[in-house]
Structure 1
Amino acid sequence: MMSRQGSFWCPPARFPLAACWRRESRGAMCLIVPALAALVLLSSAGAAVAASEDIALRGCWRSQQVRVTLADGTHREQNGDCVIEYDGSRARSTCHGSNGKTETLSSYVPSGPGQLRVTTLDPVTGQPKGPASELNYRIEDEWLLFERQLPASAQASPTGKQPVSLKSVSIRVSSGTTKGTECRPRGENPLRVGRMPTSSLLLTLPTGWKPWNVDPATDKNLGPAVNSNFFVGAFVPQSANFGSSGPVQFVLVLDDTRYGPIPVRPAQFADVKKRFIGEMPGSRLSCDDQDRVCASLRTPNGATTYTELVNLNGRVAMVTAASQNDSIDTLRRYAARFVERLRLDNQR
């Protein structure tokens, strides 16, 4: 059972190093179940419909976040290791998951300004696999955003948990035509285990660190710390010591989804910083830059955490270093190494 500190949920004594986070309604662990995966793939492929009239759509886009809104008003954050490629007549969505690679092919026609009509096709015969669906889209610089209302037939459930709409954001992989094999899923990720939604953020491990192979979906302590965010990974020093409750120190890297499927620009990041400061009562603010905010916190169980939020081309990465013994300065150095790698790996 997690203990409560104000509006935070803090780890129990046996797991002293997990940070305290505001716990939000999340339902299940946001795994992409097959039915929702099909809906996401269909909608993602459909984003290419207007390519024949909008040259800016041509090329390749990588999925960053899909928000599924349910009939009871709650929502689930989803994402897969997926890309969408189209050439003006057909769109192909390719994803890598636990069952390998899957592809979805669709045809499309424009149905109005910023509106698309999509038909999923059999990849072998090229014939329609079902009725056409409608969605709205827009392009903002390097981002593709779309919305789709799901048909009534997909809402026949008495639980109130049936999906009723989707919103998503993807980022351009390459401008114009795709080069070589760039438009492809990234494949197996050695930095994490489990089947939680996949972050689009790249990370090369800093020297001296290794993955801590723990699955937030099954770990009752790390799970609440990850919450509905996308798990990039948890990491420990190469020579890490482990106690009965876990490693003596670790770094947790998350792709923060709370701001929705939108590109986080400087104006939005100002709001992100305000929210972060408001969620950290009793913390000490140690940086406040245009694209970065930092704070440290001493938890009730004696652990110290240091957290940075950094804006990486529209995605907010959350890097937390935690320890039972290390000083704030040491934790700051730990986090800085991961932030530096994230900046280098995700520069445009």
Structure 2
Amino acid sequence: MADSSHRDMNGDCVVEYDASLARSRCYSEKGTTETVSAYEVIGPGQLRVTPIDAVTGQAKAPPTEMRYRIDEDWLLIDRQFAPSASSESKQPTALRSVSVRVGAKDNAHCDPHGETHLRVGRSPASSLALSVPRGWQSFLVDPAANRNLARTVDKNLFIGAFVPIDTKAQAIEPSQLIVVVDDVRPGPVPVRSFEFKSVKERFASELGAARLTCDQPDRACAFLQMPDGVQIYTELAIVNGRVVMVSGTDRQSQSDGLSHLEKSVGTFVQRLRSDNTK
């Protein structure tokens, strides 16, 4: 933004490219919308993109130019906007995005995820897929209305919160809770083992009273025992170029709380990886 702030956003979108056209389909609570743009490469790493009418093929707006880079399976786009007259303005000065290639052999990959029924609230959603593991159910609470959940989600992309399937629907603070978020702090870049090193360094610097329990090229874990007996286990992991944070809370003060939480959190990490394989 012109005032030096930035905003993390995400859309439930897929884009199909051919030699000259890009067809984008995006899902929102209002339904699915489709836009078509013509594009041409005008120089190394440079694109000119023109929105067009899908029926007539005529331009709907003036063309814009942007930079692009292909990094393995990821497409990175950088678009600059005209500067605002005010340094305090919330008008964007740049838009940076990252998208990942998916296999065309599965038709389901060519459509947005649509309504997942995993979460409620208006906070930005992740584009990572997740099917709920057996024995668990969604805990449909808006992070904006729950202080503890809001603290865990922070400014990240909320995927969902989950409780054991036998948890009472009216529970305000369930005895066991899993929270899954898409960590946006690495920025609009693909995260692999090399980039994950800085993620782990930041994670270690933020541990406080928690202790690190694993440090692997694609995974970092920490465990915290609260004075009131509440146990919290958090795992960061790479999933399809993104960093997911899965946090498990146990309020039952079990003697084997760590191993129990490791198993529960690990189940969700494994499911995320299997649901998002290319």
- Does 2:226 correspond to 1:226? no
1:132 to 63, 66, 87: 63
| Aligned residue runs from structure 1 range 1-348, under 5 A | 70-152=1-83, 155=84, 159-174=88-103, 180-241=107-168, 245-299=172-226, 302-325=229-252, 326=254, 327-348=257-278
Please state whether the residue corresponding to 2:203 is helix, strand or coil.
Answer: helix
Q: Distance between the aligned counterparts of 2:157 and 2:151, measured in 1?
A: 12
Q: Does the aligned pair in 1 maintain the 2:2–2:86 contact within 8 Å? A: no
| TM-score, normalising length: structure 2 | 0.92
RMSD of the alignment, in Å?
A: 2.0
With over 3 angstroms needed to count, the CA separation of the structure-2 counterparts of 1:76 and 1:299, relative to structure 1, is farther
Which amino acid in structure 2 is aligned with residue 117 of structure 1?
R
With over 3 angstroms needed to count, the CA separation of the structure-2 counterparts of 1:242 and 1:179, relative to structure 1, is closer
Q: Does the aligned pair in 2 maintain the 1:242–1:248 contact within 8 Å? A: no
Q: CA deviation at 1:195?
A: 2.6
Q: Distance between the aligned counterparts of 2:217 and 2:198, measured in 1?
A: 11
Q: Does the aligned pair in 2 maintain the 1:249–1:324 contact within 8 Å? A: yes
Q: CA deviation at 1:203?
A: 1.5
Q: CA deviation at 1:224?
A: 2.9
Q: Distance between the aligned counterparts of 1:125 and 1:107, measured in 2?
A: 13
Q: Distance between the aligned counterparts of 2:234 and 2:79, measured in 1?
A: 35
Q: CA deviation at 1:182?
A: 3.0
Structure with bigger RCO (C-alpha 8 Å, 6+ apart):
1
Q: CA deviation at 1:123?
A: 2.8
Q: Does the aligned pair in 1 maintain the 2:240–2:273 contact within 8 Å? A: no
Q: Which moved more, 1:190-199 or 1:275-284?
A: 190-199
Percent identical pairs in the alignment equals 49
Q: Distance between the aligned counterparts of 1:104 and 1:159, measured in 2?
A: 32
Which amino acid in structure 1 is aligned with residue 270 of structure 2?
E
In the comparison of the two structures, how many residue pairs are matched?
275
Q: CA deviation at 1:245?
A: 4.4
Q: Which moved more, 1:157-166 or 1:260-269?
A: 157-166
| TM-score, normalising length: structure 1 | 0.74
Please state whether the residue corresponding to 1:246 is helix, strand or coil.
Answer: coil
Residue by residue over 1:71-114, the C-alpha shift from the partner in whole angstroms, topping out at 9 and shown as x without a partner, is 11111111111011121121111101110001111112222111
Please state whether the residue corresponding to 1:163 is helix, strand or coil.
Answer: coil
Q: CA deviation at 1:159?
A: 4.3
Q: CA deviation at 1:248?
A: 1.5
Please state whether the residue corresponding to 1:309 is helix, strand or coil.
Answer: strand
Q: Distance between the aligned counterparts of 1:156 and 1:245, measured in 2?
A: 48
Q: CA deviation at 1:156?
A: 6.0
The unaligned stretches of length 5 or more in structure 2 are: none
Please state whether the residue corresponding to 2:77 is helix, strand or coil.
Answer: strand
Q: CA deviation at 1:297?
A: 1.2
With over 3 angstroms needed to count, the CA separation of the structure-2 counterparts of 1:181 and 1:336, relative to structure 1, is closer
The unaligned stretches of length 5 or more in structure 1 are: 1-69
Q: CA deviation at 1:209?
A: 0.5
Q: Distance between the aligned counterparts of 1:321 and 1:89, measured in 2?
A: 47
Q: Does the aligned pair in 2 maintain the 1:143–1:172 contact within 8 Å? A: yes
With over 3 angstroms needed to count, the CA separation of the structure-2 counterparts of 1:303 and 1:180, relative to structure 1, is closer
